[in-house]
Chain A
Amino acid sequence: MIDCDIHPQVGDVEEFLGYVDPGQREWFRSQGPSLGIPGYAWVHPSSWFRADIEQNGHPPASHVDAVRRELLDPSGTEIGILNGDDAVLVSLMPSPYRATALARAHNEWLRERWLAEEPRLRASILCPAQDPRAAAAEIRRMAEDERFVQVLLCGGADRPYGEPRYLPIFEAAAECGLPVAIHSGGEGMGIAAPPGGAGPVTFYIEWHTLGSACSIMSHLVSLVCHGTFERLPGLKVLLIEGGIAWLPGILWRLDTNWRALRSETPWLERKPSEVAREHVRFSTQPLEHTDGRDETLFEMLEAAGAPDNLCFASDYPHWDFDDAGFMLKRLPEAWRDKVLHDNAAELYGERLGLARA
């Protein structure tokens, strides 16, 4: 089983600061535990984390031993991919210079404190999307380490990622043979646009329902419409934690509009849904509850390319995680191997199987 979304937490801030460029260390230290990463305006009313996870005064999942004990061993995870948690919001920091330093430090911290400690773990390359040239340089630097298997971007953004300003990020990823993961989160924080598309929402439940789904939809539509995949035929994108029940609807809507409005994006010679089917993958978590209508959901998803475009993710240690055993029972039998293993194995390719660098 391959888990595409595990979130390591920074437990010891001072230890983390050791990975930060010395010239910027004092600034980051002065920011406190947030390290200058934009804070959330909408906060879970009790905790972002599962309440059964050991904390001992530190955030959960802040040490590799905890991840082994609580996730990898009991679930039988063969490969788990570490995605920066709050750290993914580096791309929403007002200063691209701080963001570049923090992304670099986070990548080095992952390499030394996590990947070197546990052979089942792989990681995503954090990069500062607000400075695409710096992001591309960081991608190329980290891609030399085969244990980094994808690039990680934040759902929250000032504009959707098909915008040509972001091309250097996708070009660098494609050049290095890495998929780009876009993980929901950060919508409305820092320099990001507000979540939901109708101005700032009121409640965390609204943010969690709309913000993460809408940003992921926006990036999907933007990347397809701008012809990013026509420019970079080898590029694959993994959209994480934005929900998937909406996928057939948005693709049908996009296909309908493409037929009528194609003169705006004449470089799209195939239906947008066909482009998405070839180039875009989705994490299953959080798989929507359907009040007993799972068959309807799965039939709809098949119309949008499932199961070939779905990859299992747990989102450990967050409150809305999906348990692998539970998912195993819920998914149609014919989907299980693909969703829990094969699709991710194909997406990440040889990097998953290579020996330690």
Chain B
Amino acid sequence: MSWEDVGSVADLERDGHVVARVGGREIGVVAVNGELRGVRNRCPHHGGPLCLGTVRERVAGDPGRYRLGGQSVLRCPWHGWEFDPATGRCLDDDSMRVAVYRAKAEDGRVLVDI
């Protein structure tokens, strides 16, 4: 377990994500309500670059009625499958999960606990 540098805080603020190759895997960090979350940059559905997706509040509802449901999700940029960035669980398919990591900002750098 070690903290790896995956990019600058400035890049994260500008792009909404940073991604770096760490030990043969692409790991990204996204900001979710001010907290940093490390996520493997490979969607378990189809292999898409998950961290380049968007962080959204998941839509909920009853038939014919929509509301924001309070759950933050990372939505894959390829097919739109949604993941809980805290647990890595795919909210649309119980059989799928992406690896997630602790992340933090320190001295202008973004660090992931691998």
Closest Cβ neighbor of A228 among chain B residues: B63
Cβ of B113 under 8 Å from chain A: no
A-B residue pairs in contact (CB < 8 Å), sample of 25: A226-B63, A226-B64, A227-B62, A227-B64, A228-B63, A230-B62, A231-B63, A259-B79, A259-B80, A259-B92, A259-B93, A260-B80, A260-B81, A261-B80, A262-B59, A262-B82, A263-B58, A263-B59, A266-B59, A266-B61, A266-B66, A266-B69, A267-B61, A267-B63, A267-B65
- A258 at interface (Cβ–Cβ under 8 A)? yes
Q: Is A76 an interface residue (CB 8 A)?
A: no
Assembled-state Cα–Cα distance A145/B103 (Å): 67
Interfacial residues, chain B to chain A (CB-CB below 8 A): 45, 58-66, 69, 79-82, 92-93
Contact B79–A230 (Cβ < 8 Å):
no
A18 at the interface (CB under 8 A from B): no
Contacts of A260 in B (CB 8 A): 79-81, 92
Considering the complex, which residues of chain A in the window 218-261 have a beta carbon less than 8 Å from any beta carbon of chain B?
A: 226-228, 230-231, 258-261
- Check if B62 sits within 8 Å of A258, measured CB to CB: no
Given A259-B81, A260-B80, A262-B82, check contact A230 B63 (CB 8 Å).
Answer: yes
Cross-chain pair count, CB within 8 angstroms: 38
* B80 smallest CB distance to A (angstroms): 4
Chain B's nearest CB lies how many Å from the CB of A229? 9
Q: What's the dominant secondary structure at chain A's contact region?
A: helix
**CA of A228 to CA of B65, assembled, Å:** 13
Cα–Cα, bound, A263→B73 (Å): 12
**A260 CB → nearest B CB, Å:** 4
Distance in angstroms between the alpha carbons of A260 and B82 in the assembled complex: 8
User: Interface size on A (CB < 8 Å)?
Assistant: 14
Residues of A within 8 A of B69 (CB): 266
In the complex, how many angstroms separate the beta carbon of A340 from the nearest chain B beta carbon?
A: 35
Cβ–Cβ < 8 Å partners of A258 in chain B: 92
How far apart sit A72 and B39, CA to CA, in the bound complex (Å)?
Answer: 65
B61: chain A residues at CB < 8 Å are: 266-267
Q: Are B80 and A267 in contact (CB under 8 A)?
A: no
Tell me the smallest distance from the CB of A275 to a CB of chain B, in Å: 12
For residue A164, CB closer than 8 A to chain B, the reply is: yes
Query: What is the CA–CA distance of A265 and B103 in the complex, to the nearest angstrom?
Result: 33
Chain A residues near B82 (CB, 8 Å)? 262
Chain B CB within 10 Å — which of A228, A231, A266 has the most?
A266
Give A321-343 interface residues, CB cut-off 8 Å to B: none
Q: How far is the CB of A216 from chain B (nearest CB, A)?
A: 22
Bound Cα distance A277, B94 (Å): 18
Q: Are A164 and B81 in contact (CB under 8 A)?
A: no
Point out the residues of chain A lying under 8 angstroms from B81, CB to CB. 259-260
State how many angstroms separate the Cβ of B4 from the closest Cβ of chain A. Answer: 31
List of 8 A-B pairs having minimum Cβ-Cβ separation, nearest first: A227-B63, A259-B92, A260-B80, A266-B61, A263-B59, A266-B59, A260-B79, A267-B63
The interface bits of chain A over 255-283 (1 if a CB of B lies within 8 angstroms of the residue's CB, else 0) are: 00011111100110000000000000000
A261 CA / B81 CA spacing, docked (Å): 8
Contacts of B80 in A (CB 8 A): 259-261
A65 to chain B, nearest CB (A): 47
Q: How near does chain B come to A335, taking the closest CB pair, in angstroms?
A: 28
- Complex formed: what's the CA distance from A19 to B80 in Å? 56
